[in-house]
Amino acid sequence: MSTDTDTSAAAPNLQTLEAGQELPTMHKFPDEAQLFLYSAASHNPHRIHYDREYARFEGHDDIIVHGPLQGAWLTQFVTDWAGPAARLLGVTWQNRASGLPGEELVFSGTVTSVDSETGIVELEIAEHTSDGRLLMPATARVRLPTA
Amino acid sequence: MSESLIPAETLERVGEVLSGPVTTVIDRREAQRYAYAVGDENPVYFDEVAAQEAGYRTLVAPPTYVTHAVVQPRTASDLRTDGLYREGTRIRLLVDRVMFGGEEWDFLEPVCVGDEITATVRLAAVDQKEGRKGPFVRQVRETTFVNQFGDEVARSRMIGIAR
């Protein structure tokens, strides 16, 4: 359970930010311990996240990463990029497929619009496995500091 | 157009409160336990000074934590075989399977440690659509979260796909 992010990148500058720019990718490496901790911290007793035999009975390849955990990573991906003075205004995601423990999950994104008056930036973001399977297409809206 | 998968009694329930209101206080340890479980160690969740420098009243909670904060304690004898709790309010549809389609969030105000949050879940929409694999039902459960000042702080729409 770890995260790789390029933390050397400075917070985005509203004056130079443009549609089409890409965000630095974030990588997650979920393992069984993280799924267990997330089930506990989110009060989620769903068996497909801890009982391998039951998860396979339901047709999954293994225990699966929680949808809301993947969603929380999408919000982290944006807030890490935007910096502490920014405000996340919204996020949407679609559950296309589930990540599995032991897989490397990759978060990527592109700026789709920038309003330099209000500071509102729209993003198209996504979570894939490292071999390119799309898990969650998503969007986010964030307000960057204007001063 | 295919036959309706949505019984009339279900259509009449659009707008109905499915659960809540439920009120809870945002607890520092619980919010931080959640942030650690996600692997999101943003200083604004852990360091009061960092949170205030970022413009928050005090420590803030991770954006989607609020939906987990309001989960009420339940007895284990309410668990079904899949590990989920039995639902109090069932929405009847003429389908075999309901899947999570996705989620949409609006974050309107920060949710800080110590805030008292009241959550109410409503059936926001039930629509039948035509997909590549035949008809399906898109069902939207909307939760509104209101703080102790009466401000709506967040809104989540959970989208269920049933076919």
CATH number of the domain enclosing A77: 3.10.129.10
Question: What is the ipTM, given to two decimal places?
Answer: 0.95
Helix then strand count (H, E) for chain A reads 3, 6
| Below-50 pLDDT ranges, chain B | none
- What pLDDT, on the 0 to 100 scale, is given for residue B8? 85
A42 within domain boundaries: no
Give B66 to chain A, closest Cα distance, Å.
Answer: 10
- What pLDDT, on the 0 to 100 scale, is given for residue A2? 74
Q: Which residues of B touch A33 (CB under 8 A)?
A: none
Whether the CB of A31 is below 8 Å from some CB of chain B: the reply is: no
Fold for B8-72+88-162, please state it.
Thiol Ester Dehydrase; Chain A (3.10.129)
Q: In this complex, do A92 and B30 lie within 8 Å of one another by their Cβ atoms?
A: no
Of B37, B54, B100, the CB nearest to A38: B37
Instruction: Provide φ and ψ at A121, rounded to 5°.
Output: -120, 130
| Below-70 pLDDT ranges, chain A | 6-9
Q: Which residues of A touch B110 (CB under 8 A)?
A: 87
Classified as helix, coil or strand, B149 is coil
Asked, as a colleague might, if the bond just before B21 is cis with ω within 30 of 0, I would say yes
Domain span at A95: 17-30+65-143
Domain ranges of chain B: 8-72+88-162
- What pLDDT, on the 0 to 100 scale, is given for residue A8? 57
Residue reference for tokens 């917070």? A11
- What pLDDT, on the 0 to 100 scale, is given for residue B105? 98
The region, left, alpha or beta by phi > 0 then psi within -120 to 50, assigned to residue B114 is: left
A10 within domain boundaries: no
- What pLDDT, on the 0 to 100 scale, is given for residue A11? 83
- What pLDDT, on the 0 to 100 scale, is given for residue A24? 96
A35 within domain boundaries: no
- What pLDDT, on the 0 to 100 scale, is given for residue A52? 96
Whether the CB of A2 is below 8 Å from some CB of chain B: the reply is: yes
Q: In this complex, do A88 and B107 lie within 8 Å of one another by their Cβ atoms?
A: yes
Are A80 and A63 in contact by the 8 Å Cβ rule? The answer is no
A85 within domain boundaries: yes
